[in-house]
Amino acid sequence: MFDLLSGLTSAGLIREIAEVRGQLRDRQARFIPQRVHVGDLVVSGQVHVDLSALDDYIHTTADNERWITRVRLIKAMAAKNQLPVGVIPQSYHQIPNGRIVGSGGFAIQNAHENLRTAAMNGYWDYDFTACHQAILAHFGDYPRTQALVDNPRAVREMVAADIGCEYKPVKTSIIAVLFGADDGLYEKKCAVAKNLGRNKVRAFWDHPWVSEYYNETVDAGRKLVGDVDNFHVALSNKLQNIESQLLAVVSRDKRVDVPMYDGFMSTESYDTAEMERLVEQETGYRITITKEKIRHGFSNFEGNRATG
């Protein structure tokens, strides 16, 4: 009888059974919906994760203990009898600028990139290429901004090579320009100094592409938000708000397993050209959407995740 009751519980049909001081008792199980409405999005309240890939992440990762602990929390939740094995709950809330943000310790959206790749091994990842820059390029003739939209990797690699830095910190520093980064040298408070090191700050800001790109973002930003106090705060909030609107348009009538601000992850494969056409038709913004299959980086993982 106990096995039967436990089976029904895992299917979400009755209360959860627990052993308390040697006696079986029941307690009200928290209902976890398969789909949840958050703002203008409908997203998955339950996500299937690849337990084998997460095990490999623990055994091979060089990431810090914080993320190892997060993996173990996710694996523990994925083993609870409230949901099928390998399934974890996801919850979200909408912040004032419109973004849909993951909540709690099991939020895949907030996880380290390598952890997220392991958990979502086999999903499709949809990404809005240089989304904020594509929005700003709509407001005028901005060749540096448009170059970043057209070929972001080439631009970032060019800047990185010219100033003698790695690709990823240069990418992060270019993003920080839109959010009000300055040329300060204090690494704990200044984004560029934190990313590149204080000895590279001047080279970054003096780079011809960076300096002209900054001027373009200010000019386009003034057209978008006006001449307001706390300009970069207002600009970043406005860009994130538009970004969330684009995501709502793109994901309509589609399966969104994990929203990612400028894109989403899904078990389903969709036509990106059709999504781009829909965005331009409904919002006027021309963006490029890419998709790729998420691969954890080692073999024999097809079929490890339950589907549903």
Alpha helices (H) along 81-230: 113-119, 131-137, 143-150, 152-163, 167-178, 191-196, 201-206, 208-225
Amino acid at 245: Q
Distance CA 51, CA 206 (A): 47
The pLDDT value given to residue 133: 97
Predicted confidence at residue 21, as pLDDT, reads 41
* Successive 10-residue mean pLDDT values, the chain, 308 residues: 34 38 43 85 93 88 77 86 87 93 90 92 96 96 97 97 96 94 90 95 97 97 95 95 96 94 96 96 96 77 35
The pLDDT value given to residue 302: 38
Tell me how many helices (H) and strands (E) the chain has.
13, 12
Q: According to the model, what pLDDT value does residue 84 have?
A: 87
Q: Are 107 and 113 a contacting pair, CB within 8 Å?
A: no
Structure tokens at 181: 């980064």
Q: Label residue 21 exposed, middle or buried (CB < 10 Å: 0-12, 13-18, 19+).
A: exposed
- Write down the pLDDT at residue 73: 86
CA distance to 25, 138, 170, 197, per residue, from 167 (Å): 56, 27, 5, 14
C-alpha dist (Å) from residue 254 to 126, 248, 265, 280: 12, 10, 11, 18
Q: Are 97 and 244 in contact (CB under 8 A)?
A: yes
Give the C-alpha distances (Å, rounded to integers) separating 92 from 125, 144, 207, 245, 258.
19, 36, 40, 16, 10
